[in-house]
Amino acid sequence: MESFPKELETMLNQHSIAYIPFGALEWHGEHMILGVDSIKAEEICRRSVEITGGVLFPCVNYGAFGTMKFPFTFHFSKRSLKKMTKNLVKQLYQWGFKIIILLTGHYPEGQIKQVMKAAKKISKKHKDCFALGIPEQKLIPDWGYFGDHAAYWETSMMMAIDSNFVDLEQLPEGLTYPERTIRHGIWGIDPKTQSTIEKGEKILNEIVKRLSDAIIEVERTNTNKAFKKIYAKYEKLKKENRKSLKKLFEVHGIGNIKESLEILKWMIFKRKKQDTEYRLKKNNFK
């Protein structure tokens, strides 16, 4: 955004790496700002480009789909973002970028597939182009991070990026998993008790290290083997995690199977609409 043409040309000639962060304007609990996904993705890309060189492009804030049915949230169709992403990578390659990073901080399954597909398609079409389309959790699944929403992981990272973006005092204490989700839009481990600046900094540092290491390896070898390893490792650990119900609940902060059934009922019958009056009835567990 702030580059003169000559400056962009110089950066491109030094390292033909393009970073495109994807985000959303979406409810992230009462305790966090609405631009979490965008700011998180931008920060990861910003830290990475400082290591690898290349160009950081503006975040794609609009077009996100699979967003929550909570207040102050923009909703878009899959089609609009798919077309734009396809055009983005096509033009970046035409400009001369050989390594293209599509990092999405907003990650419903459909959006993850879109950026992955766009990256794989451009890489297959042009043998001198190496693209990677991922959400940040695909870089550290061995840490037990498979994505959350306004919960422990995202809240910790936002605290590390800027503590003014988080106000945990807005959240009540002792919420069950269904109460966190249905009332406050928090999917995952309780941020009230678990999130800290220190944890967020460790998470961000590891994500950036792994991303930048992979990009440097791709640039050095002129192959996309390092990117393929990222995809493969995530899928392997995700499958292993699903085999254990105990591990699955631990990763997502679910107390027990009845709590998960309560969420399932809400998703089916209430279509994931916020209910600020919701309280988990104890007799549901008898």
Tokens encoding 19 = 């970073």
Q: To the nearest 10°, the Cα dihedral for 71, 77, 82, 87?
A: -90
**CA-CA distance, 158 to 103, in Å (whole number)?**
16
Q: What are 159-201's pLDDT values in tens digits?
A: 999 999 999 999 999 999 999 999 999 999 999 999 999 999 9
Q: What are 223-239's pLDDT values in tens digits?
A: 999 999 999 999 999 88
The CA-based angle 242-278-192, given to 5 degrees, is 60
User: What is this structure's pTM?
Assistant: 0.96
Domains, the chain, ordered by start: 5-285 (3.40.50.10310)
- The secondary structure of 71-91 as a DSSP string is SS-----HHHHHHHHHHHHHH
**CA-CA distance, 272 to 209, in Å (whole number)?**
36
Tokens encoding 102 = 């599509």
Is residue 157 within 8 A of residue 204, CB to CB? The reply is: yes
> Chain-centre distance of CA 187, in angstroms?
13
**CA-CA distance, 119 to 240, in Å (whole number)?**
26
Is residue 234 within 8 A of residue 141, CB to CB? The reply is: yes
Task: Give the Å distances, CA to CA, from 193 to 142, 165, 169, 183, 208.
Answer: 22, 17, 11, 17, 25
Q: What are 30-58's pLDDT values in tens digits?
A: 999 999 999 999 999 999 999 999 999 99
112-138 average pLDDT score: 97
Percent over 90 (pLDDT), the chain: 93
Considering the chain, what is the average pLDDT of its residues? 95
- The secondary structure of 228-270 as a DSSP string is HHHHHHHHHHHHHHHT-HHHHHHHHT---HHHHHHHHHHHHHS
3-state secondary structure 141-177: HHHCCCCCECCHHHHHHHHHHCHHHECHHHCCCCCCH
**Mode of pairing for the β-strands spanning 55-56 and 99-104:** unpaired
Question: What per-residue confidence (pLDDT) applies to 285?
Answer: 46
Answer whether residue 270 shows pLDDT above 70: yes
DSSP state of 76: -
Answer whether residue 286 shows pLDDT above 70: no
Percent over 70 (pLDDT), the chain: 98
